[in-house]
Structure 1
């Protein structure tokens, strides 16, 4: 049976990975962080990145990395054998503007292939490590994954993926908060005072059993929309999807001032805007909510982000 693959996206990093690998651990931010992907058996891929002002010494960074590995496995009473500077990928022409070192290590039960690089374009180092059992042939899979990795996007957006969700968010926005549960997923982003929230709810048929999508939204987000004047518009209902949108402004005391004066005040003190797209996908039995709050137009960015989400297969 042919193995299925998908694209991973996190903190500006992209890679092609087996479709059954999913996030097992996350820490850090865009400047420095760690991401681990697991299958149903073991941790499979580990990514560790860090930003640098100057050009780092990759061998020194590897010394520290191997020191941590030896300490970790030493606590388990295991020894590891490390090889540095191996010839894992023969043609390295695809690793443009990157200083690169491949490595491997082995213990009695686990083996791994890895690489470290420094990208002159984004000024980040990346350590990628592919894990397997001692007798498992993981070399070709490690090559496929390592040669697919990109550590910064070439376009205007970053791809973010988690538990079946794939979404494109403008690069200037940084991940501020995330929650990942079986029936709820949140990715929250910030760019100064501008905010974007992307949410996915499971069990839509249960949530909407006795209420409409609009009523559910009003109840669920009552605290978030409090203090805003807004309108909710139906967008579509095609049998698979039901979608509504919200456009609103923060209410202020000057809203009671005559319009002639209000127009001048609006130029001086811009009011906060809110836009949202909310839709139910019957195919996946999920509800998706994309919201943005800012003192500039928010409708286009919400539409663009919502359009990048594929809510069901096919």
Structure 2
């Protein structure tokens, strides 16, 4: 890997990255968690927990990339980086500065990362990057993370702060998720199934089991003052939830949630046939079928409406409470 001619910039030169002075927040995706400037938001995601990628962008440029995979055989981190740099050099245009890289640089200590097998790297071309690649024996994943900047930016300190904060698996069976300022936790045996980002609304749905009968959904609606301008929260929920769950009859109980005005919801199948089928299956399988329960509330401090929704068996009803409590609806 070439290290001659132009060397990557270190902390001694270059202008500071402007977002390094921003407040930091959690970015969590597929068990990968980092503390990043709050102006960075997910721009690209792909894959799943076993193998995937995400990129977070600042308003002016891409800032943070993470790639992970489960290797099927022994892997050399040095060889992975060599291939990566060759790919970068192939993709760079002739009019752009040649990409020069260094492997084995010190970015984060092994003590801080708690990873015996890891390798720091940096490269510079039209832009610059500082990163780290490591293998985790606990989650059996190789993770490669890098912070990006303009070629005249000094980003090493920012990269060290972001990457040293990273975790690649949960320690208590709950994955911290965080995207677009929406922070919550989900049991790690539920897998991300779908997510929707539309104007004024975020929705993430996680499923468990081959048939995906059991699920957890978390939602956030913005501009609550507009949504509730001419209608009370209970009436708004009574109209919005049946639209999303047309096969369920919703029962609402007004109750405070997390110190805010809110409601508890219980969904029952509208179809009599479906209810009879569920009763019959519970007798045959000797276990109760999954049922829909939810909490929803209006957070005036953040001007948003939140919901935590579970379709789980009664023995797992506690998940609704725990997911609800994990949602950060406003900063204290």
Q: Is the 8 A contact 1:175 1:189 kept in 2?
A: yes
The answer (yes or no) to whether the contact 2:38–2:181 under 8 Å persists in 1 is: no
Q: Paired residue for 1:59?
A: 78
1:161 to 178, 199, 210: 178
1:267 to 278, 283, 287: 283
1:101 and 2:114 correspond: no
1:4 matches 2:23: yes
Cα shift readout 1:188-232 (whole Å, capped 9, x = no counterpart): 101112111111111112222222322222322224444435531
Question: Equivalents in 2 of 1:99, 1:212: separation in Å?
Answer: 56
Q: Which secondary structure does the structure 1 equivalent of 2:255 belong to? A: strand
Tell me, yes or no, if the aligned pair for 2:115 and 2:136 is still in contact at 8 Å: yes
Q: What is the CA distance between 1:20 and its match in structure 2?
A: 2.0
Structure 2: gaps (5+ residues): 1-19
* Residues 45 and 2 (structure 1), Cα distance of their counterparts in 2 relative to 1, 3 Å cut: closer
Query: Is 1:132 aligned to 2:177, yes or no?
Result: no
Cα distance change, pair 14–76 in 1 and its aligned pair in 2 (3 A): farther
What residue is the counterpart of 1:276 in the other structure? Answer: 294
Deviates more, 1:77-86 or 1:155-164: 77-86
- For 1:149, the equivalent position in structure 2 comes to 166
Q: Does structure 2 retain, via aligned residues, the 8 Å contact 1:97–1:121?
A: no
Q: Helix, strand or coil: the match of 1:45?
A: strand
Match of 2:51 in 1: 32
Count matched residues: 307
1:106-255 paired onto structure 2 within 5 Å: 106-107=124-125, 109-192=126-209, 193-236=213-256, 241-250=260-269, 252-253=272-273
Q: CA deviation at 1:13?
A: 1.1
List gaps (5 residues or longer) in structure 1. none
Is the 1:53–1:123 Cα contact (8 Å) retained in structure 2?
Answer: no
Q: Distance in 1 between matches of 2:327 and 2:94?
A: 44
CA contact (8 A) 2:41 2:179 kept: yes
Q: Is the 8 A contact 2:214 2:290 kept in 1?
A: no
Q: TM-score, normalised by structure 1?
A: 0.88
